[in-house]
Amino acid sequence: MRPRGALKLAMPSGSRGGQLLRLMWGIHISRCVFAVAELGIADLLAGGPSRSEELAAATGCYEPSLYRVLHLLAALGVFEEHDHRSFSPTAVGERLRSNVDVAMRSWAILLEALGGVRPFEYISETIRTGKPGFDAAFGTGNLRVSRPASEQCRGLRCCDV
């Protein structure tokens, strides 16, 4: 039986349609990774599996929505889903912890702080004109980090802003 809503299982992973579907969903997956990184979910799971209800209480989130994000990321190999809506990180998910040598949590947060997906909203214009999407999205070049972005970056291991 397939887990409800599991993209990975919606089509065989080797099928052309499944490959294309995963590419089309990339932006949604990226946003889910950012959300769990920002919430510190992998850090909360460092001590062992936790139920989505416990994680929601610890992070101030709405449990049904958090569960759906965790379930999606479990289908994609970031977390492992256990009985009773509980989750633990996989080797991939461990990289979303803040205090491990191979941590990538800071990168997930930094990419969002630097505009995330907004510059890619203009990809067609960029291809036609050569104008960077960052300039179109923010009216400035990407080397000028905004104050809110620099505040969001404070304390991240991948940068010193």
Residues 60-105 have pLDDT tens digits of 999 999 999 999 999 999 999 999 999 999 999 999 999 888 788 9
pLDDT of residue 22: 80
Between 87 and 151, name the one with better pLDDT.
87
The model's pLDDT over 94-115, given as tens digits with 9 standing for 90+, comes to: 999 998 887 889 888 887 776 6
pLDDT of residue 112: 75
What is the Cα–Cα distance from 106 to 102, expressed in whole angstroms? 11
pLDDT of residue 16: 87
What is the Cα–Cα distance from 16 to 107, expressed in whole angstroms? 30
CB atoms near residue 50 (< 10 Å)? 21
What is the Cα–Cα distance from 4 to 20, expressed in whole angstroms? 20
Between 88 and 23, name the one with better pLDDT.
88
Domains and CATH numbers, the chain: 7-94 (1.10.10.10), 105-153 (no CATH)
What is the Cα–Cα distance from 108 to 30, expressed in whole angstroms? 8
pLDDT of residue 39: 96
Most confident of 9-18, 109-118, 144-153: 109-118
> Which of helix, strand or coil describes residue 88?
strand
> Which of 51, 47, 45 minimizes the C-alpha distance to 82?
51
CB atoms near residue 139 (< 10 Å)? 8
What is the Cα–Cα distance from 96 to 79, expressed in whole angstroms? 10
The model's pLDDT over 117-145, given as tens digits with 9 standing for 90+, comes to: 777 888 888 888 888 887 887 777 655 55
